Amino acid sequence: MKSTRRELLKVGGRTILAAAIGRSGLEFGSEFEGEKGPKDLAKLKFSQPLRVPPILSPVRSDATTDYYEITQKEADVEFMPGIRTRIWGYEGMFPGPTIKTRRGRAAVVRQTNRLPGDTVVHLHGGVTEPASDGFPTDMIMPGESRSYVYPNQARGATLWYHDHAMDHTAHNLYMGLAGLYIIEDESEAGLGLPSGEYDVPLILQDRSFGQDGNFSYHAGRAGRIGARGAVMLVNGVSWPRFEVATRKYRFRILNGSNATAFEIALGNGRPLTQIATEGGLLTRPTECPSIPLAMAERTEVIVDFSGYPLGTQIVLNNVGGEGPKSEIMRFDVTREERDENTIPEKLSDWEPLDPKLAVRTREIEFGISMEFNIHPLIWTINGKKFNPNASLANVEYGQVEIWHLKNRKFGSLEKLHPVHVHLVNFQILERNGEPPKPWERGWKDTVSLGKGEEVKIIMKFDGHRGRYLMHCHNLEHEDHNMMARFDVV
C-alpha cells in the first residue's frame, strides 16, 4: 500500500517535471535577478518527505578528541523525484553529514579532496586556530588531504562547515560543499528542550537546474550579483513535507544559500518561539511572528504542534519570497504523542557586552569599486578588494572593539550584505541608531546589513592570535573581493 503510493508520487513527479522543462524551453528553475521561475514547479511541492542528514561517526576517539574522516567527492543525488543531479559533497552527500560534538571535546577532521577542483574547509562559527580556520589560500589540491583541528571550547551552538576556496567558494557551495556542525552543551541538558528525533535541522537552499537535471550555476547579473534558484531545497529535498506528532519540536534553521535571504513564518499565523541565534541559546525565548534569515545566519525555534487535530497541514512560508519560493516546506500533523518537553522561561545566562569596555570603534564600509562601470564589477570593504597579504585591522588580543558596519549607497547596485566575522561571536548594539530587532538579540556571527543600513556590533577578540577573515556572505560578493583579513596580535 505504502510503496504503491510512493511509486505513484514518483511517476507523478516525473510527469510534472517533463512538462515544466518542455514549457520553459532551455532551463527550469532558473531565476536571474528580477525573473520568476516557471509556475509548474509549484506542483512539486510537498510531494517528498524531509530527509535529515546522517550524523557522522568518528573513525576513532581518545580521552580528549574524536577523529573524523571526510572524503569530498562527486555523486548523483535525487533532489526532485526521478531527476538525478551531479553534486560535489562531503562524503558525496548534499548537504554533508552532520558532525555532532560536545563542548570541551576536541574534533580532528581529516578532509580528502577527490574533486576536480581545489577546496578549503572552514568551520563557520568556530573558535579555531588560523591554521585550521580555512584561509582561502590554504587549499587542498585534488588528491590531497588536510586535517583540521577544532577545540570546541565555546558554548553549544549550531555551526556549519563549508568550502572557502579562493575565488571558488560560491561555485563549490552551490555544488554542495556544506554541512552542519552541532556543539552540544551540558548546560542544555536540564532545560527539557525537545531532543533526539524532535531536534531537527533545516538547511534552506535554493538551486536552479538545467534540462539534464544538473545544477545550472549562474553567478547572477554582471556575473557577480549572486546565484539564485527557483527551486527551494530543505536538507537537499525540494519543498519537502515533514510528518510531525502533536508535540513540541526544536528546529535548527540555517540559510545555506548563496545569495537569497529568507524570512520564515508559519502559514497559520502563529508566532515562532525563537530560542537561539548563531552563537547558541538566548537568555530567554522570544516570540516572533516571522524571522528574517540572511545568508549564513542561523536561528533555532520551538514549534508546538500539540492542540492541532490530526490531518492539520502547516506551511513554513518565506515571507516576501517570489512565486514558488514563497513557500519552503510543510508540516503535516499525523500522530498523537505525549509531550514531556517544556519551554523554560530562562534558557541561559550571559551578560551583554558593555560598550564602555570597547577600546575603539572601527568604521567599516561595504561598497563597490569606484570604477564600477568598468567591467568587471568589484565589491569592496573600505574601498579595497580582498588582499590575502594585507590586514585591514590589527586587533589586540583580549580587547573589546565596536565595529560600525555601513552599507554604502550606490544607486541600483545597493545590495544586502550579510557580514560575517570569523573567530568571534558578537552582539548587535544598534541597527540604524535603534536597538537590534527582536530576533537578533543573541550571540551572532553573521549580521544582515540591508540596503542603506548601518549596524554597530561589539565583540571581544580572544581565543587565538593570528590571521582571520571578515566578509560578505553573499558568496558571489565574497568571491568578487568583498572580504578582508584582520589580524589578532
Applying CB under 6 A, which residues contact ligand C2O?
A: 122, 124, 162, 164, 296, 420, 422, 469, 471, 473
Under the binding rule (CB under 5 A), the answer on residue 235 touching Cu ion is no
Q: Which residues of 237-273 are buried (b: 16+ CB within 10 A; e: fewer)?
A: bbbbbbebbbbbbbbbbbbbbbbbbbebbbeeeeebb
Q: Which residues does 293 contact at the CB level (< 8 Å), separation at least 6?
A: 204, 253, 255, 261, 262, 263, 264, 299
Closest to 115 measured CA to CA, from 58, 176, 179, 205: 176
Nearer to Cu ion, 80 or 484 (CB): 484
Q: How far is the CB of 465 from Cu ion (least distance, A)?
A: 17
CB 77 within 8 A of CB 94: yes
Q: What is the DSSP string of 73-90?
A: EEEEEEEETTEEEEEEEE
Q: Which residue is nearest to ligand C2O (CB)?
A: 124
Sole binder of Cu ion in the list 103, 471, 477, 485 (CB under 5 A): 477
Q: How far is the CB of 121 from ligand C2O (least distance, A)?
A: 11
Closest to 118 measured CA to CA, from 146, 99, 98, 95: 146
Q: How far is the CB of 399 from ligand C2O (least distance, A)?
A: 22
Sole binder of Cu ion in the list 168, 248, 422, 471 (CB under 5 A): 422
Nearer to ligand C2O, 121 or 429 (CB): 121
- Please give the Cα distance from 277 to 256 (Å, whole number): 15
Nearer to ligand C2O, 241 or 473 (CB): 473
Q: How far is the CB of 421 from ligand C2O (least distance, A)?
A: 9
Nearer to ligand C2O, 239 or 468 (CB): 468
Nearer to ligand C2O, 122 or 485 (CB): 122
Q: Which residues does 189 contact at the CB level (< 8 Å), separation at least 6?
A: none
Sole binder of Cu ion in the list 124, 162, 168, 467 (CB under 5 A): 124
Segment near Cu ion (CB under 5 A); pick from 24-32, 58-66, 119-127, 205-213: 119-127
Q: How far is the CB of 126 from Cu ion (least distance, A)?
A: 7
The beta-strand segments (E) located in 176-335 are 178-184, 199-207, 209-210, 231-234, 237-238, 241-245, 248-255, 262-266, 272-277, 280-288, 291-293, 298-304, 313-318, 327-335
- Please give the Cα distance from 476 to 170 (Å, whole number): 6
Instruction: Tell me the three state secondary structure of residue 450.
Output: coil
Size of the site for Cu ion (CB under 5 A): 6
Q: How far is the CB of 471 from Cu ion (least distance, A)?
A: 8
Nearer to Cu ion, 36 or 451 (CB): 451
Q: How far is the CB of 3 from ligand C2O (least distance, A)?
A: 40
Q: Label residue 374 exposed, middle or buried (CB < 10 Å: 0-12, 13-18, 19+).
A: exposed
Q: How far is the CB of 296 from ligand C2O (least distance, A)?
A: 5
Which 362-421 residues touch Cu ion, going by CB under 5 A?
A: 417
Grid cell of 362 as nine digits? 572601527
Nearer to Cu ion, 47 or 169 (CB): 169
Sole binder of Cu ion in the list 293, 472, 475, 488 (CB under 5 A): 472
315 binds, among ligand C2O, Cu ion, none (CB under 5 to 8 A by kind): none
477 binds, among ligand C2O, Cu ion, none (CB under 5 to 8 A by kind): Cu ion
Grid cell of 454 as nine digits? 548601518
Grid cell of 108 as nine digits? 580532528
- Can you say whether the dihedral through the CA atoms of 41, 44, 49, 51 is positive or negative? negative
296 binds, among ligand C2O, Cu ion, none (CB under 5 to 8 A by kind): ligand C2O
- Please give the Cα distance from 171 to 218 (Å, whole number): 9
In this structure, what DSSP letter does residue 193 have?
-
Q: How far is the CB of 329 from Cu ion (least distance, A)?
A: 26
Interface with Cu ion (CB under 5 A) = 124, 417, 422, 472, 474, 477
